[in-house]
Amino acid sequence: MLDDWIYFHLPRIFCGLGFTVNPVFVYLIFTENHAKFGNYRFLLLFFALFNLTYSVVNVIVPLDIHTYLYCFFLITQNGWFVEHSEFNFNKMTIRCFLVAASYAILLIHFVYRYQAIHNSSLTRNAFHWYMLFSIFVFALYFGVWYAICYFPGQANMEIREYIRDEFRETYGNNSTDFNMLGALFMEGSDETRFRSWLAVVLWTSVSTVSIIMFVALAITIVTQLKKMTRSASKKTSKFQVDLLRALVVQTVIPIVISFSPCLLCWYSPMFGVQLPRSFNYFEVSALGVFAFVDPVAITLSLPIFCKRIFSVCRHPTAMFTAGKSSSDHVTQ
């Protein structure tokens, strides 16, 4: 069945690709001349570890998204945490947060690039304080997202009753037997509709505000880079531009394959538009892709890594020696 591929085989394939790509990504970073990346390599390491964690959780807690008339809902499809319980609902909520956590990580990276381009001590001598700031940002995103997920309630009985027939037809089970996070925008009580609208608006606000901060920081960094070209060496300026370009690519991918499908899932039921089941499959698949696509895109966006990767085809030992032989000194 197609469901077996989407919810059982694909997460495992994505996980395998993630555990193939991310260690190579980390190896390239830490075998490159340390002066090039400086402390930024530790943020990239954190990013890679997050990707590996995301890949594993995607296997353990596979999500399914479905829309029906004026309602959308998420359930845990297969795995160990399917049965309806408070504990399993918490696991599903944490799984949902990992999608939003990419915004926290990207914000941490953009702030670091902003500080580095201004030669801040936070990126050099006081990096431990920056790591504490990073942990705070990550925890803040988690707290906000977790609270919003609980605000509409665990898909209360009104929603479960609303989708009962559709759920049985689609899944062949009773809607009350599954953990569920959902929203009902019409044809429900005032309280249910209010909680549903508010939760979706808050989810959208968190994502939108994050993207606005990314754009504002990127514009500020570009402006500073233009000033930097007058005083810094050509190699230093070019490498800073390469890092910013890689960060932009790193940002665009989760927005396109994570945020955009979520928007369609959240807002189409507001107008009574029921997305086809095939699109639900696409949404679920897209949410599992970025953990291995993003590091590949970043690697291909940095010329120093591209040269090492492509030189392997000609000289198999180049992967192990190129980074060590570099003598460029660029403080990050």
For 16-37, what is each residue's pLDDT tens digit?
999 999 999 999 888 887 777 8
Q: Is residue 331 part of a domain?
A: no
What percent of the chain stands above pLDDT 90? 5
> What is the pLDDT at residue 153?
58
Give the tens place of pLDDT for each residue, 132-172: 988 898 888 888 887 887 766 555 778 888 888 888 888 88
Residue 302, Cβ density class (10 Å: 0-12 exposed, 13-18 middle, ≥19 buried): buried
Domain total of the chain: 1
If you count them, how many residues does the chain have? Answer: 332
Question: Which domain range does residue 208 map to?
Answer: 2-325
- Which amino acid makes up residue 26? V
> What is the pLDDT at residue 151?
67
Distance CA 243, CA 327 (A): 18
Question: Per-residue pLDDT averaged across 88-117, rounded?
Answer: 85
CA within 13 Å, CB half, 181: 29
Residue 20, Cβ density class (10 Å: 0-12 exposed, 13-18 middle, ≥19 buried): exposed
Q: Is residue 67 part of a domain?
A: yes
Domain containing 260 — which CATH number?
1.20.1070.10
Q: Is residue 330 part of a domain?
A: no
User: Does residue 324 register a pLDDT over 90?
Assistant: no
Q: Is residue 189 part of a domain?
A: yes
| Strands of the sheet with 180-184, listed across from one edge | 63-68, 71-76, 180-184
Confidence of residue 297 (pLDDT cuts 50, 70, 90): confident
Contact 84, 176 (CB under 8 A): yes
Q: Is residue 233 part of a domain?
A: yes
If you average pLDDT over every residue of the chain, what do you get? 82
Q: Is residue 332 part of a domain?
A: no
Give 187 or 216, the one with higher predicted confidence. Answer: 216
Name residue, tokens 């160990």: 80
Q: Is residue 302 part of a domain?
A: yes
Q: Is residue 151 part of a domain?
A: yes
> What is the pLDDT at residue 326?
45
Confidence of residue 260 (pLDDT cuts 50, 70, 90): confident
